[in-house]
Amino acid sequence: MNAPLAERLRPHTLDEYIGQTHLVGKASVLRKMIDSGHIPSIILWGPPGVGKTTLAHIISNTLKAPFYKLSAINSGVKDVRDVIDKAKNNRFFEAAAPILFIDEIHRFSKSQQDSLLNAVETGTVTLIGATTENPSFEVIRPLLSRCQVYVLKPMEKKDLETLLQRALSEDVILSGKDIKVEETDALFRFSGGDARKLLNIIDLVVSAETGDNIVITDKTVTERLQENPAAYDKGGEMHYDIISAFIKSIRGSDPDAAIYWLARMVAGGEDPKFIARRLVISAAEDIGLANPNALLLANACFDTLQKIGWPEGRIVLAETTVYLAASPKSNSAYLAIDEAIANVNRTGNLPVPLHLRNAPTTLMKELDYGKEYKYAHDFDNHFVKQDYLPPDLKNLRFWKPQKNSAEVKMQEWMQKLWGENKGK
């Protein structure tokens, strides 16, 4: 039986590797380290199908290092220790440290991650972890501090075009057929920047044809995928498209749709913590100051979920989902921080006004650090007018209150303290 197209086309060198030029392009830092034969322990963070596993294999081949692979789904602490012992015993003299590749490292428990620490710190192994989740949430801090995190991006259209042409011209099976691609919109849209998914779709469409003369159009791709929805998805649709529909339903204030998409994720076996994290983000980004209690409830949901586990945790997720969807919405804080960051990027490191500076030493006091500062609690309403922004940004507004009852009250209070201009 033939191997899948994605496996047949798996690259073996960096020159064959498609995409991620910011990491492995000729002048990139990671590429230089790989070519030099020395890399630190790293974590590759990115969506499915962008080449994390392939890159780990290429690094091992380039460094001529022994390669050990563990999957976080079916490996325990004993498996980790056994691999580390093998790596320690099989290393000779100046040979490169064995590479330990852990797929879905975000699924490793704290004790499993703890068991890696000494081997990583002493250089017994070079760890390469792959994850689709933010390592800041899922990787313990001591291990994260010993690894360099690299972010892999979904493939761009030009990368998908290159991969498509390589499949048609270089694959041992496809190159023997007369395949004409008349349209690529459906191919690229359904793949969603996922190289493996694109190759699976091509495999599916080609295998459905009986002859060697094949024409690929948007219509044929769509029809084949509708007939075989599971043949090309590999879990990606559940993980990304449905969470997108879930969050957009909350943002759109439709609790019924939000609960439906939550049910789809629960029934599909989605990681409850993944859902809970998205609820925390939604509470801050989409509900925000219109109902600050939403963030409190979302955080409580995350904490409670870890305490009570599953299946009761689905009830906590449902309660939070309905509450967030039914809450008034505001993204004023989200817009404020983005606008402020954009301003910082434009204006650089403006000096802190003297009256706002800390003055822990005599010299600093002599330099008038903090001299003109007015302590707000010494005044009526615990407020006194003074400038808090650098002079170049005086009177600039970042937070713009939106029209909901909570922010209207905040706006009125700001206007009372500062005058009409501050609250608008």
Is the torsion defined by CA of 51, 56, 60, 62 positive or negative? positive
Residue 65 lies in a domain: yes
CA distance linking residue 190 with residue 198, whole number of Å: 8
| CA 419 distance to own-chain centroid | 42
Instruction: Record the tokens describing residue 249, joined without a space.
Output: 């339903």
178: left (phi over 0), alpha (psi -120 to 50) or beta: beta
- Residue where the block lists tokens 């002493």: 122
Residue 70 CB partners (closer than 8 Å, separation 6+): 79, 80, 83, 100, 101, 102, 103
| Among candidate residues 242, 243, 337, the one with its CA nearest the CA of residue 282 | 243
Residues 250, 368 within the same domain:
no
Query: Do 126 and 43 share a structural domain?
Result: yes
Q: Are 226 and 260 members of one domain? A: no
Whether the CB-CB separation of 57 and 34 falls below 8 Å is answered with no
What gap in Å lies between CA 288 and CA 337, rounded to an integer? Answer: 12
What pLDDT does 93 receive? 59
- Tens-digit pLDDT profile for residues 342-392: 888 888 888 888 887 777 777 767 777 777 788 888 888 888 888 878 888
How far is it, in rounded angstroms, from Cα 240 to Cα 14?
Answer: 28
45 close to 134: Cβ distance less than 8 angstroms: yes
Q: Look at residue 423 in the predicted model and tell me its pLDDT.
A: 47
Q: Which helix (H) or strand (E) element contains residue 21? A: helix 21-24
Residue finishing a domain among 189, 217, 233: 233
292 and 374 belong to one structural domain? no
Tokens representing 232 are 């090309």
**Cα–Cα distance measured from residue 238 to residue 50, given in angstroms and rounded to the nearest whole number:** 17
Query: Cα(255)–Cα(318) distance, rounded to whole angstroms?
Result: 10
Low-confidence ranges of the chain (pLDDT < 50): 1, 234-235, 423
Domain residues for the domain of 220 are 157-233
Among 102, 107, 101, residue whose Cα is nearest residue 58: 101
**Quick one: which H or E segment has residue 130?**
strand 126-131
Looking at the fold, whether 35 and 112 belong to one and the same domain comes out as yes
Residue 15 within any structural domain of the chain: no
Question: Number of C-alpha atoms within 13 angstroms, CB side, residue 122?
Answer: 9
Is residue 270, in this structure, part of any structural domain at all? Answer: yes
Q: What's the CATH number where 128 sits? A: 3.40.50.300
| Count of C-beta atoms within a 10 Å radius of residue 25 | 11
Contacts 24+ apart (CB under 8 A), 20-23: 20/50, 20/51, 20/55, 20/152, 20/153, 22/153, 23/55, 23/150, 23/152
Of 298, 326, 354, the last residue of a domain is: 326
**Cβ contact 220:74 at 8 Å:** no
Residue 2 within any structural domain of the chain: no
In a domain, 11, yes or no: no
- pTM here is 0.62
Tell me the CATH number at 196. Answer: 1.10.8.60
| pLDDT for 128 | 94
Our count of domains for the chain comes to 4
User: Are residues 28 and 140 located together in one domain of the fold?
Assistant: yes
In a domain, 86, yes or no: yes
Q: How many other CB atoms sit within 10 Å of the CB of residue 400?
A: 13
DSSP letters along 209-252, please?
-SSSEEEE-HHHHHHHHHH-HHHHHTTHIIIIIHHHHHHHHHHT
